[in-house]
Structure 1
């Protein structure tokens, strides 16, 4: 790498401590003629205060990106930290790891996340949303937004005969922290329109994570709660 060119004595760095193989913060003391580096550990914790490390085991300290500086749509290279049934946590160098939901790993349906991603793997991601200190990421650029731009008012006249409690079949268009947008067809046919199923309406029991209940593209059955024909919502 070109670390030798950009590192100079006094720089804040992170380096691998040989005894346990973990990265720790340190200050670069000097570069040696043989290409190794002397580093002084910020917190020796009873161990040696200074160690000699190889070029591959040292990198310049980069402060984490504040959450409020992350822009939706920004592209990053990240590292998979861990996987779970609902997605993968990815470190993009921000204050918190971001979640790539299983529906945003690739275009098609993901049967088993571990077939797609492993911890330590480098991935390209886009910032999908930053809500309440949580970072949502996507590996599919086309899944960045649900819409975007001014939406035309939906024609809800075909829905006006429906009443509270009527059942409709729909398709989940997008999932957010507060619920799911579902595309529903009028009973008599015609253009579909989107409605929001709030997280509090998803189940008889408390739902902490809407992503664990529904996925993008899933067929669902919904009940009409209210229709505002004039407002187009």
Structure 2
């Protein structure tokens, strides 16, 4: 059967529409080109993340090796916080004055004491807290922990960090400053300390004055600071100002290590090592 199809007029398509379609098709390859840098960036990020993971794994293994070696030296199981003085960084704890490995009933904390009741010369007992730049904080039961500087850890030279978590530490109140900060000492004897030495910048004239000396010349010096790696002394020679010099622990006599204290006078000699004049670092050793 034959069907009559009426004539239908097709809609008019303006030439601009065709141009739009053509322009759209042309943008597809350009869009793909723009995606390539993103793919490259994501690939680079993945490589960096993988490298970071490998680095963290290496550091974890190094840390585990240090823990194992330290445990071997102690002959017992050591917790991570006990390794703080070996140079291994440990994450902060909410209450670092006690060990999380110690049962609650075995933990000891000092009795509470009001800030106004803390007096210079008072004998107290505390427990080790967090480490500072040049010492350790001690929880003595006051609202603010006391600070125990390296030079006050013991009589003589502090060969190593002697404080273990959860062990009682007998201390004396050495000083309380205007801000209420409490400074402690484990040393015996008087509580008077010499004033802090203001370190001047070493000048060329100072280096020339010291360079005129021979390494056998004896110089009188005074101990102004004690660190774990040695003591700092203030020293002056003809033609120089009063400057600071380092007496490394390897250059100290055993007698000095047993008796050294702030303000102590010692006889030293100049060490002319490497490029000390260019670095302007004055090193000394105990005079024989």
Q: Which has the larger radius of gyration?
A: 2
Q: Which has the higher strand share?
A: 1
TM-score range, shorter chain: 0.3 to 0.5
TM-score (norm 2): 0.33
